[in-house]
Amino acid sequence: MAGLIRNKQGIPSTLLTRCLNSPSSILTLPYYSTSKRSLRTLAYEEIQANPSKPYTHTAFILHGLLGSARNWRSFSRTLVSSLSDSPSEWRMVLVDLRNHGNSAEMEGLDPPHDLVNAAKDLGNLINSKGWESPDVVIGHSMGGKVALQFAKSCGNRDYGENVKLPKQLWVLDSVPGEVTSDNSDGEVEKVLQTLQSLPSTVPSRKWLVNHMLDLGFSKSLSEWIGTNLKKAGGEETWAFNLEGAVQMFHSYRELSYWSLLEHPPKGLEISIVRAEKSDRWDADVITRLESLASPEGDGSAGKISVHVLPSSGHWVHVDNPKGLLEIMAPKLKSLMP
């Protein structure tokens, strides 16, 4: 059912800077008509600047670990508004990945809970709805690796002839290789272990925040973890499938997509956005990535572009949404109707 989704304000600016997905952007924007639907495949939301007009282009937006589609509502509204002066009519599809958001309650999203199946869910969604393939896939953090896996599988025709390679893939502050103990401080693991040690229901959000503070976590992180609760009778429970999310995190750590970046399929541009203040990027990874940035070429292969988002930590759409729009919007506008 079509409805209006309103911005939420007052999101803490300093949060866990590794893999957990960010809170909603704090931009103040006009409200756009959206629809929210739950399928046996995945839950998702749609945003268009002019819902009465048929769309010509589609972008999928994928959140990160322990996040949901709602984290990207504000930025998606801004992005679709910034594209309204182009000849194309854009639709943003904000997806709840398996074990997250409204997809956490979906039946039929069977194990293993890894990035391969998370990407396959996107293919199943496209096929089940009879949609054309998205022109653009945008993924943040863990969602960035899901986007890379989706492109890899599309190139292999794993989802059938109807699901084709996107024209653009955006990987937002997500290291494409394996995440080892050498380039991880273990903070995400500590958070997940703490959540696993708690009962499935807690007395209240206030109780959870205080408990996290007592364990030494920061106030901003503790309060954000508290936003991931939903009502369960007189108590609160998680708004995600914790065990499934933990399995997805392990898959995120283990999988590498360097081979895809080294040999991008023809017709695909992969844009990597690295946040200037993000602490996840080792010098050797940055050097390797920049060495793959390709000129226009002769069109026989895909293209890699690398962008640095200034004045931003890992939460790119919260820390510097204007700068992110300035990077992304011109490239999206370049896609012809």
Condensed to tens digits (0 to 9), the pLDDT of residues 99-152 reads: 999 999 888 899 999 999 999 999 999 999 999 999 999 999 999 999 999 999
Of 123, 177, 182, the C-alpha closest to 150 is 123
Of 163, 169, 157, 97, the C-alpha closest to 132 is 163
Of 263, 257, 251, 18, the C-alpha closest to 140 is 18
Q: Report pLDDT for 25.
A: 41
The letter for the amino acid at 76 is: S
- State both tokens at 71: 């984290």
In angstroms, rounded to a whole number, what is the distance separating the alpha carbons of residues 23 and 112? Answer: 27
With beta carbons less than 8 A apart as the criterion, state whether 96 and 42 touch.
yes
**212-269 pLDDT tens trace:** 999 998 887 788 788 888 888 889 999 899 999 999 999 999 999 999 999 999 999 9
In angstroms, rounded to a whole number, what is the distance separating the alpha carbons of residues 60 and 46? Answer: 9
Q: How many CB atoms lie within 10 A of CB 171?
A: 27
Query: At how many degrees (to 10) do helices 321-333 and 73-82 cross?
Result: 50
- State both tokens at 186: 């273990």
Instruction: Report CA-CA distances (Å) from 188 to 16, 17, 115, 205, 252.
Output: 8, 9, 17, 20, 12
Domain coordinates in residue numbering, the chain: 44-178+254-334, 187-243
| Region of poorest pLDDT, from 38-47, 171-180, 285-294, 323-332 | 38-47
The letter for the amino acid at 201 is: T
Domain 44-178+254-334 homologous superfamily, CATH = Alpha/Beta hydrolase fold, catalytic domain (3.40.50.1820)
**Which distant-in-sequence residues (6+ apart) come within 8 Å of 109 by Cβ?**
41, 42, 98, 99, 103, 117, 121
